[in-house]
Structures are given as C-alpha cells and as structure tokens.
Structure 1
Amino acid sequence: MTDNDVLKHTYDKEIVCPICENKFKVKIVKVNSPRITSKDSDFFIRYSVVNPYFYDVWMCNHCGYSSMKADFPKIKSFQKELVLDGITKKWTPRVYPESLTVDNAIERYKLALVTSMIIEKPNSTKAMILLKLAWMYRLKKDVEKEMAFLKQSITAFLDAYSMEDFPIYGMQRDSISYLIGELYRRTNNEKEALTWYSKVFSTVGASQKLKDLARNGKDSLKNNMI
C-alpha cells in the first residue's frame, strides 16, 4: 500500500504525551476503512485494506514513551520518572514512513513492550503486546518467532488471569479462558489446552459462541489440526 492509499484510509490526530507534554500527530485508521477478510481462532483479524494493527502503537519521538493507543494516556506519576530515567536518557528518535509496514509495526510493538516492563504495566498489557507481536510474525510467516511470542503471551495471560480484574481488554473470564486454551493448542500443549477449554464450559454465563470455539479447538486437537 502506497502513502497515498494510507492517506485515504487514515486521518491525523494530535496527541499530547503524558510524560513530556510534547505534542505530536498519530495516524488513526478510519472506522469504515478496514475490510475484514478472515478471523483466526485466537482472535487475530486479517484485513484486505489498511491494517489497523500497524498503527496500534503510539510513540512520542521526543521522550521515547511508547504504548498501545488504548493505554497511552494511562500514566501514574511514578511512571513518568521511570520513563525519563529508563528510556528518555537513551532515546534516539525514529523516522517512519507514512505507510507503516509489518516490520515497522514489530519495532513499535517491541518499543511498547520495553516501556511496559520499565514502567511496571499490568501483566495483561504485556500479554496483549506479546500476542500482537506473535500475530505480526504470523503475517511474516516466521513460525519460530510467532511461537516464541505466543508462549510468552501465555505466561503473561496466566498471571493476568489470576491477579487482575475482568474485563481484560474487553474480554471477560470466558474469553480469556478460551484464548489461553487456544494459545496452548497453537503451541502444541494439548493437556493445558484441554484444561482451559474445559474452563470455558464450566464458567457461569459463558457465551455459546465461546463454547463453540472451545469445542472446535478440542475437535482440532483430535484431528491434529492447527
């Protein structure tokens, strides 16, 4: 996709960095632009036009603070000092094209991951970034790195499941249970996958859609399908 194509499907929005108060512009993908072609069983959505995942990380090029857009303004006072000490002092500004590529997205998600660790973000935040990194490597068909990030995301989701309140990024307990099971299945841990699929069926109020997905996951294990 060319820069001109991206301009058709995005608009600029001015953001104020919660760390250094620098004003900068980010690209927002227009709601009516993404065209969904398919959805993977671990909630990854594939698009035919502009890919919203590529623009999900906002980055202040002045101080280096990087975060998924949903979390960008959520900063506590002690975290500002952590960014200034742990990131800004070592920060080298980056230059990105108008039209971000999957490799640009990977770099930006990794910057957001580093930030989340330095400022002690919740495990759920790290889990989502790790999962999205796995998805980006899936787009690149880099199975080894995809699997590595999927496994790391499982660990973070398990911690979030046991220690954080729901919903987690819009997902209730049944959705997270299913997702953990599905990630275990994709990383070839059949025993744990079945355990977490079972949690979906035993969760009070679990949606029929999630139960169907969990049942599909169990069936695919029987048939040795990814």
Structure 2
Amino acid sequence: MKMSQLYDRNVVCMACHQQYTTKKIRSRFLRAVKHDTDFCSYYQPEDLNPLFYYVSVCPCCGFAITEEFSSYFPPGTREAIQQNIRTYWNGKNYSGERTLEQALQTYQIGIYCASMKKERHIVLAGLYMRLAWLYRTYEMPEQEEQFMRLALKEYTASYSIEDFAGTHMSEVRLLYLIGELHRRLNETKEAIRYFSRVIAKKKETIEKRIVDMAHERWQDIRYNQRSSS
C-alpha cells in the first residue's frame, strides 16, 4: 500500500476545547528545491508545501492557531473571540487536503484570530511572513509586498519589546530578517543598519552562517549602489 503524503495531527482547540484533526506533510515527502535569502523555500510539487498547513482551523468554532500561539488568553479576549468569531462561524472545514485558495483563507483567519487574541508580535510576524512567501511562490508580487511590509512592522515591534525571547527566533536571526525585508522593499539605508548590527555580533553568536549572510547582503547593496552610480 502506498503511504499517504499527508497525515492527520490531532489538535485541541484553545477556544472551545473540541478536538479535531488537521493535515501535515510527512517529512520524507518534503522536497525543497530552492531557498531565498529571507528563508523562503520552494517545493516540488508546489502543493506539497508545508506552508499550506501551517495554520490549523477548528471546524467547530472557527478559531485558528499555529504551533507558535501561546495558551494564555489576555483578559477579555475569550469573550471577544466568542462574539466576533464563533458567533459568525459558518462551519467550513479545513481539515482535509488544501488548495492554494484554502491555504490563503486559513492565513486570513489565523491573522484575525491572532489579532483578537492579542498574540505576540513575533507570532503575527510569522503569519505575515509565510503568507508573503506563499504569494511569492505563486508570483503575486503586489500581495507579497503588502505582507512583507506587515511582517517587517511586526518583526520590528517584536525586536523593540523583545517578545521573541523564549521562541525559536534568535536575536541575530531576527535582526537579519528585519534587514533583509528592508532590502527587499528597497529601503537600503535601514537594511544596512540592521545588517551592520548582525555583523557586529559575529564574536558573540554561534549562528555564523547568519552573520555571513548579512555580510553578503551588505555587499550586494554596495555592489548595486556602485553599479547604479
């Protein structure tokens, strides 16, 4: 019997406490064929992309999460979620195999839920960034730029108040991402400022590859500036 490329992962909804399943891609079937300088990965075939299944949506109440969501609900947010999400939920089920359109819908729901729950900036940034990557993969540059800008805003806020502490995101990686987003948005002065911060941490970080990448991007900017002048 041929093994399915997808498997069911059990999830307990944080909002209504109902259990449901969501699809994930078996790691043996993930085939990244290219990586961008902001860590966007491309997969073959395109629909076997883990970004399609990053957001889990409860079919019972419509509350959507990622694995980065905290279990803590600030005061008043449960009631707001009840009034603004669960009351109007149409029962749509995203627990099966997803199309691009369905994946995009789950991000929209996830972003709304994260905002209602007052999730950390680093969590919202992750949603915006991955949504930008999806739009890039399918060559929708206007939408890609829109969500890169939103990701940049949230990453910068996260760095400012350090709400990335205790997550998989290190300070060096976050500084690099902020710089790279500025570079991709043609904000070279800010890009250089953040890349310089990464390079300055060379002796105190174990993430030497990130430092090297920051130096490479800084050199790319200098080369392009010389070429244009």
User: Is the TM-score greater than 0.5?
Assistant: yes
Q: Which amino acid aligns with 1:76?
A: F
The normalised TM-score by structure 1 is 0.89
Percent identical:
26
Q: 1:18 to 1:91 in 2, by over 3 A?
A: same
Match of 1:139 in 2: 137
Give yes or no for contact 1:147–1:187 (8 Å, CA) kept in 2.
yes
Match of 1:101 in 2: 99
Match of 2:220 in 1: 220
Query: Distance in 2 between the 1:166 and 1:95 partners?
Result: 31
Q: Which amino acid aligns with 1:222?
A: R
Query: Distance in 1 between the 2:166 and 2:199 partners?
Result: 19
RMSD between aligned residues: 2.1
Match of 1:46 in 2: 42
Q: 1:149 to 1:173 in 2, by over 3 A?
A: same
Match of 2:15 in 1: 19
Q: How many residues align?
A: 219
Secondary structure in structure 2 of the residue aligned to 1:32: helix
Query: Distance in 2 between the 1:223 and 1:169 partners?
Result: 35
User: Deviation digits for residues 73-127 of structure 1, max 9, x if unmatched?
Assistant: 6243743323112211122222448431222211111110001111111111111
Query: Distance in 1 between the 2:105 and 2:224 partners?
Result: 33
Query: Which structure 2 residues correspond to residues 7-86 of structure 1 after superposition, within 5 A?
Result: 8-49=4-45, 50-71=48-69, 74-76=71-73, 78=75, 79-86=77-84
Q: Which amino acid aligns with 2:21?
A: K
Match of 1:191 in 2: 189
Cα distance, 1:213 vs. partner? Answer: 0.4
1:205 counterpart = 2:204: yes
Q: 1:77 to 1:146 in 2, by over 3 A?
A: closer
Cα distance, 1:187 vs. partner? Answer: 0.5
User: Deviation digits for residues 154-181 of structure 1, max 9, x if unmatched?
Assistant: 1111110011244464121111000100
Q: Which amino acid aligns with 1:214?
A: A
Query: Distance in 2 between the 1:46 and 1:163 partners?
Result: 32
The normalised TM-score by structure 2 is 0.87
Secondary structure in structure 1 of the residue aligned to 2:194: helix
Query: Distance in 1 between the 2:26 and 2:95 partners?
Result: 18
Query: Distance in 2 between the 1:11 and 1:32 partners?
Result: 12
Secondary structure in structure 1 of the residue aligned to 2:59: coil
Secondary structure in structure 2 of the residue aligned to 1:121: coil
